[in-house]
Amino acid sequence: MSEMQGRIALVTGASRGIGAAIAERLAADGAHVILTARTAKDLETVEQRIFEVGGNATIAPLDLAEAGSIDRLATAVRERWGRLDTLVMNAAMLGTLTPVPMIDAAEFNRVLTLNVLAQQALISSFDDLLRASEIGRMIVLTSSVGARPRAYWGAYGASKAALENLALSYAEEVRNLSSLRIAIVDPGRTRTAMRAKAYPGEDPATLKLPSVVADQIAELLSSGFETGHRLVID
């Protein structure tokens, strides 16, 4: 029996790419997956694929950056299940790749709102539900530019650096208080819409599929990793 059998899992940014692949893999492994993203139609497509192979899912269309949206979702999960076993924080915004002096303040605010502030709100709203699980796990998707700065990637890289610090600080805070474990995952070069936007001339055939990332995350969730673990997928 899979380690995910019967678990309640929430995947953000689950309408396409890596998020959709993770949601489908966790559902295939027996989890009931809550799918969140802004576009209901795309979520319904992922949900249908899960249903077609015998999995279970619930869609929750919402904008994580919208005030109150995360609290409402947490309330719904609390009332229906009373716990959350797995939280996969995948949703993110790339923004425009540009020199630091040229970063547009309004766009930078949107990047930080989704990539950092909304992620902290997820931790805050789901903290008690994750701790209520005997097998609570949180997976945080990052990027290599969060740890290794790259020209023109300052806005996105700064948001990922902040997210990693936030998640790992939380990991230390709950280390001795609950069974919750937190891991940072760098998916590496993957065939996604975000990657295509960042590297428009790149041949997508040279990149791994999102399903490869999903498989490794599923393996990580079954491995009994130590909190603060970092997985880099080549």
Annotation marks residue 170 as catalytic:
no
Cα separation, 65 vs 121, whole angstroms: 9
Cα separation, 43 vs 47, whole angstroms: 6
Residue 113 is inside which H or E element, if any?
none
Task: Return phi, psi of residue 46, to 5°.
Answer: -65, -45
Tokens for 191?
């065939």
Q: Is 37 helix (H, G, I), strand (E, B) or coil?
A: strand
- Position 188: which residue type? G
Cα separation, 54 vs 188, whole angstroms: 30
Cα Rg for the chain, rounded, in angstroms? 17
Residue 182 is inside which H or E element, if any?
strand 181-186
Active-site annotation holder among 152, 156, 170, 199? 156
Q: Which residues are catalytic?
A: 156
